[in-house]
Structure formats: C-alpha cells, structure tokens
C-alpha cells in the first residue's frame, strides 16, 4: 500500500507545528503531481485521438473507405497496446518521473515526423510508434497519483487524473477538424508534437517520484493475480466498458455530420462538450467512490451505459438531431465514468510493488478492445447504419454487469 503522506513521527511539543507545515507542503506537492499527470496524459491522448477527427477529411472529402480510415485511427492505439506493460514494469523499477518525461519526448519527435511524411502508410507507422511512446503516461501517471494521495482521497484524485483523457479528446475534437481543413493532416499533428514536447520538459522539471515502502522479497514476489480473481474481473469489465467509449469518441462526430446534418464545426462543439462533461463526471464519480465503494458505482455505470446506448440508437433511428446530440453528450459521459473507478481499484488491489504492471495490463486490455473498435465498428456501421450499430454496442456493458466484483479489494 502506498505510504500515508503528510504524517511523520513527532517527539517534541514543537513537532506538531512542523507536521502541520509538512502537511501543507506535501499536499501542495501532491496537487502539483496530479496537475502534471493530467496535462501529460491529456497531451498523449491528443496525439492518440487526432486520427479519429481526421475521418471527415479522409472519408467524406477524400473518399477513403471508412474501414481503411479506421486502420489509421487504430494505429496509435495499437502502439499503446504493444508498450503499456513494458512502460508499467519500467515505472515499477525506476520510478515515474523519467518514464513520463522520456516517453513524451519520444512521442513529440515521432509525431513531428508523422506530420511531415507523405502517404497514409508511413504516417500510420509513425503514429503507431508515437502511440506507443505516449503509453509511458498511462501507468506511470497513475502510480504518481496513488503514491502521493492517501486512500481516502484517491478516488477524487484519480477521478481528476482520469479527466485527462476526455480533455485530450475534447481538444482534438475542437482543433483537429478546422486545422485539417486548413492545412491537411500535417497541421493537427504538429499541434500534438508541440503539446507532448512542452509537457515532456514540464514533467522532467516538476515531477517528483512518490515515497515508496522498502522493497522486500515478500512484497516483490506477492503476485496479486495469484491471490484471487479480482484484478482479472476488473480487467475484463473494463475491456467490455471501453467499447461504448471508443465507439462514441471515434464515430460520434462523423455520425452527427453524415446522418444528422450537423456542420463539422457544430458537431465538433457537441463532441467536445461531451468530453468536458465526461471529465467532470469522472471527478464526481471518483469522489463518490471514496464514500460508497468503487465496485458499487461500477455496476451502476454499466446499467446506465446500456440504457444510454439504447436511447441514443432510438433517437438516431428517428433522426431527431437535437435529442440525439443531447443523448450523445450524456451517453459519452456515462461511457467514461468507469475508467477512474477501475484504474484506482487496480492500483489499490495490486499494491505499490505491482501497480505499474497491473495498470499496464489494465490499459492493454482496454486498448486492445479500442484498437478493434475503429475498424470493427466502422465495418458494422457500413453494414447496418449508425443507430443499429449503437444499439448493438449496448451488449458490451450488459455482459459486463454480472462480472463486476461484489466488493473492493486492497493489497495487504
């Protein structure tokens, strides 16, 4: 378990004043680590999400088939899948600061190269590598939050940390379509390269690895996957619940434009609004989980996900443009609410000696599913249309519901 912060042994009457000062100092440090973790993850998410918002340019204007465009969209996510566990293991071994900063610096270079090469294949290869580099933030920034915040505040802190993904997606939804219209696919990628480069420097300067308990043979060898099936069940639930999330974030924009007649700018505002509301929802759900339990709320999220997708499908089938947009915002908010709950639970159940690897495995499963969403759901939409496809996606949270563990688990 991560050390309790802001508490140290006191031996004289003067020490109580010192302890209060230390509490304030450590608390400020914790919030600084959280802010840097959020911004670092958001910059990485911007790079990974950018191809999804090139779909209107590549598919609607240049006529590239949707399944083929889906492969480009999936490329950076595939890179994440290939590197997440390795980044997590490296963070377990050497700490978080240089893993985050080094990965972001590498992502900046690769994304800048992707912005200047010609052809979808070279661009896709470089985006695959850049996505792998951004994976450094996923497990390592989660470890920073768990390490710097006590358990009774981790749900709130991790909820704030998890807002980084919808914020990154929101920025992509707002800036990528107009930039792509003005300068092709290269200009949005330059923005991603600049963002990751700036955050690489900021994290190298500002992040301090959290205190760690002494490593012993018993803690290092205590594989939490051999203790019970809690982690495996959370991983599987997260894989299922990520399908609606990536379906909506990948195809929500083009659905509003192609099926419901929204302009690209207006649709981008709707999708960005959904991501901002989703970011706030993660904070609320994370804070609630500190009081009511993470698994209890995870079950509620799964139920709400089924209902939201079915209503969204019905509104789309009826071609109700405004209600469909409102439901897109609500359903997207629901679809991202589980991430912080699952991420915090995995870190707490795995313990500090295993949390990097466990978080890497957690994200690997999610991004394997996400990699299949773009080409798979793209093909499904081409076959049955957007409304029915959204309705069929509701099967994923329905299957996840009985798999949610009954109680939270904390590492001994």
Say how many domains are in the chain.
1
- For residue 11, being part of any structural domain is answered with no
- Provide the pLDDT for residue 134: 93
Is the model's pLDDT at 257 over the cut of 70?
A: yes
CATH of the domain at 139: 1.20.1250.20
Q: What tens digit of pLDDT does each residue of 299-311 get?
A: 999 999 999 999 9
- For residue 5, being part of any structural domain is answered with no
Top mean pLDDT of 8-17, 182-191, 276-285, 355-364 is at: 182-191
- Provide the pLDDT for residue 10: 32
User: What is the residue range of 370's domain?
Assistant: 25-403
- For residue 103, being part of any structural domain is answered with yes
Top mean pLDDT of 21-35, 260-274, 350-364, 385-399 is at: 385-399
Is the model's pLDDT at 130 over the cut of 90?
A: yes
Is the model's pLDDT at 380 over the cut of 70?
A: yes
Neighbours of 205 (CB within 10 A): 10
- For residue 325, being part of any structural domain is answered with yes
- Provide the pLDDT for residue 27: 66
- Provide the pLDDT for residue 218: 47
Is the model's pLDDT at 258 over the cut of 80?
A: yes
- Provide the pLDDT for residue 348: 85
**pLDDT confidence of 21, banded at 50, 70, 90?**
very low
- For residue 1, being part of any structural domain is answered with no
Separation of alpha carbons 302 and 305, rounded Å: 5
- For residue 305, being part of any structural domain is answered with yes
Mean pLDDT of the chain: 83
Cα 203 to chain centroid, rounded: 18
- For residue 120, being part of any structural domain is answered with yes
Q: What is the pTM of this model?
A: 0.71
Are 374 and 71 in contact by the 8 Å Cβ rule? The answer is: yes
- For residue 341, being part of any structural domain is answered with yes
**pLDDT confidence of 12, banded at 50, 70, 90?**
very low
């Amino acid at each position: 378990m991560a050390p309790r912060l802001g508490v140290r042994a006191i031996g004289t009457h003067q020490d109580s004043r010192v302890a209060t000062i230390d509490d304030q100092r450590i608390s400020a440090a914790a919030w600084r680590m959280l802010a840097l973790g959020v911004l670092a993850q958001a910059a990485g998410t911007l790079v990974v999400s950018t191809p999804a918002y090139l779909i209107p340019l590549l598919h609607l204007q240049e006529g590239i088939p949707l399944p083929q465009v889906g492969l480009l969209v999936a490329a950076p996510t595939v890179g994440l899948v290939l590197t997440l566990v390795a980044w997590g293991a490296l963070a377990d071994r050497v700490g978080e600061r240089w893993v985050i900063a080094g990965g972001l610096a590498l992502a900046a270079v690769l994304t800048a190269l992707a912005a200047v090469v010609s052809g979808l294949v070279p661009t896709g290869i470089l985006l695959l590598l850049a996505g792998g580099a951004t994976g450094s933030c996923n497990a390592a920034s989660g470890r920073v939050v768990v390490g710097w915040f006590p358990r009774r505040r981790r749900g709130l802190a991790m909820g704030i940390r998890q807002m980084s993904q919808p914020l990154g997606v929101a920025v992509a939804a707002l800036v990528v379509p107009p930039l792509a219209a003005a300068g092709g696919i290269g200009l949005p990628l330059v923005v991603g390269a600049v963002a990751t480069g700036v955050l690489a420097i900021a994290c190298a300067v500002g992040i301090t690895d959290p205190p760690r308990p002494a490593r012993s043979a018993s803690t290092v060898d205590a594989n939490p996957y051999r203790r019970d099936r809690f982690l495996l069940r959370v991983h599987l639930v997260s894989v299922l619940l990520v399908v609606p999330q990536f379906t909506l974030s990948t195809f929500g924009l083009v659905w509003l434009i192609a099926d419901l007649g929204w302009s690209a700018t207006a649709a981008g505002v709707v999708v960005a609004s959904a991501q901002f509301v989703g970011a706030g929802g993660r904070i609320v759900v994370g804070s609630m989980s500190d009081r009511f339990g993470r698994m209890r709320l995870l079950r509620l999220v799964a139920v709400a996900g089924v209902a939201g997708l079915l209503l969204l499908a019905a509104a789309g089938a009826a071609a109700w443009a405004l209600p469909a947009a409102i439901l897109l915002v609500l359903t997207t908010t629901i679809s991202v609410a589980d991430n912080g709950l699952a991420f915090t639970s995995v870190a707490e159940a795995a313990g500090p000696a295993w949390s990097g690897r466990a978080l890497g495995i957690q994200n690997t499963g999610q991004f394997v599913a996400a990699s299949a969403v773009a080409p798979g759901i793209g093909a499904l939409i081409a076959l049955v249309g957007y409304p029915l496809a959204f309705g069929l996606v509701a099967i994923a949270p329905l299957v996840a519901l009985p798999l949610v563990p009954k109680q939270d688990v904390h590492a001994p």
